Chains A and B, each alone.
Chain A
Amino acid sequence: GAGVSQSPSNKVTEKGKDVELRCDPISGHTALYWYRQSLGQGLEFLIYFQGNSAPDKSGLPSDRFSAERTGGSVSTLTIQRTQQEDSAVYLCASSPSGGTTYEQYFGPGTRLTVT
């Protein structure tokens, strides 16, 4: 079956612009996670969705970052007024449920470059 897909695969933007990153999880997966992979910080958790609600937003680095999920499926991560330190690969993962033992299936990521 189809895996997790993300778009765009690459995004180059100017400092100060807003960007939207999209994630399509595996059909039927209720849990969705966003992570960020950067050279300086490694792999960091950003936000967790169960259905359309986000009970854990603790990893969002600033109020410039927001995310939503609609229809229990597609999720969008929005970064406003981008800064150079936002440059990273943004990864989305989904799993059948939000329990601690479930495997998370990762998408290919969106590479964001802020110039």
Chain B
Amino acid sequence: GNSVTQMEGPVTLSEEAFLTINCTYTATGYPSLFWYVQYPGEGLQLLLKATKADDKGSNKGFEATYRKETTSFHLEKGSVQVSDSAVYFCALTAGGTSYGKLTFGQGTILTVHP
């Protein structure tokens, strides 16, 4: 079946530090990959996505590259801000009869201190 594994959290960083959150996946067919973010008190929202191998998704200074050879989609940001504190979820939708349903990783809590 399909599954997503994220690095364990919580992650605590100082402002302007470099961020990496690891994500690897197992999927049938050819998945699309997503990072969703949940800010405190808010709903889930899409941060970025990539739909084919070697695609790079980017948004708000965050980037992730679809690596088919390593089945990974690691999230990176060069300089985090306090406002980036949130829960980050890696997710995929797989082909076949998945109908676009999302399979999520367990989430990584990020806290950024001034």
Determine the main DSSP class of A at the interface with B: strand
B106 partner residues in chain A, CB cutoff 8 A:
42
B12 at interface (Cβ–Cβ under 8 A)?
no
Contact A103 B107 (CB under 8 A): no
A43-B89, A45-B103 known; A103 and B43 CB under 8 Å? no
A43 partner residues in chain B, CB cutoff 8 A:
89, 91, 102, 104, 107
**Can you list 26 residue pairs at the A/B interface with Cβ under 8 Å?**
A33-B100, A42-B104, A42-B106, A43-B89, A43-B107, A45-B101, A48-B99, A48-B100, A50-B99, A59-B101, A91-B43, A93-B102, A98-B100, A99-B100, A100-B93, A100-B94, A100-B95, A101-B32, A101-B49, A101-B93, A104-B100, A106-B43, A106-B45, A108-B42, A108-B43, A109-B43
Contact B100 A95 (CB under 8 A): yes
Distance in angstroms from B9 CB to nearest chain A CB is 12
Of B46, B95, B103, the residue contacting A103 (CB under 8 A) is B46
- Interface residue count for B (Cβ, 8 Å)? 27
B44 partner residues in chain A, CB cutoff 8 A:
91, 93, 106
Please encode chain B, from 16 to 36, with 1 for each CB lying within 8 Å of some chain A CB and 0 for all others: 000000000000000110101
B97 at interface (Cβ–Cβ under 8 A)?
yes
Number of A-B contacts (CB under 8 A): 68
Query: In the assembly, what is the distance between CA of A103 and CA of B51, in Å?
Result: 11
Query: In the assembly, what is the distance between CA of A5 and CA of B77, in Å?
Result: 31
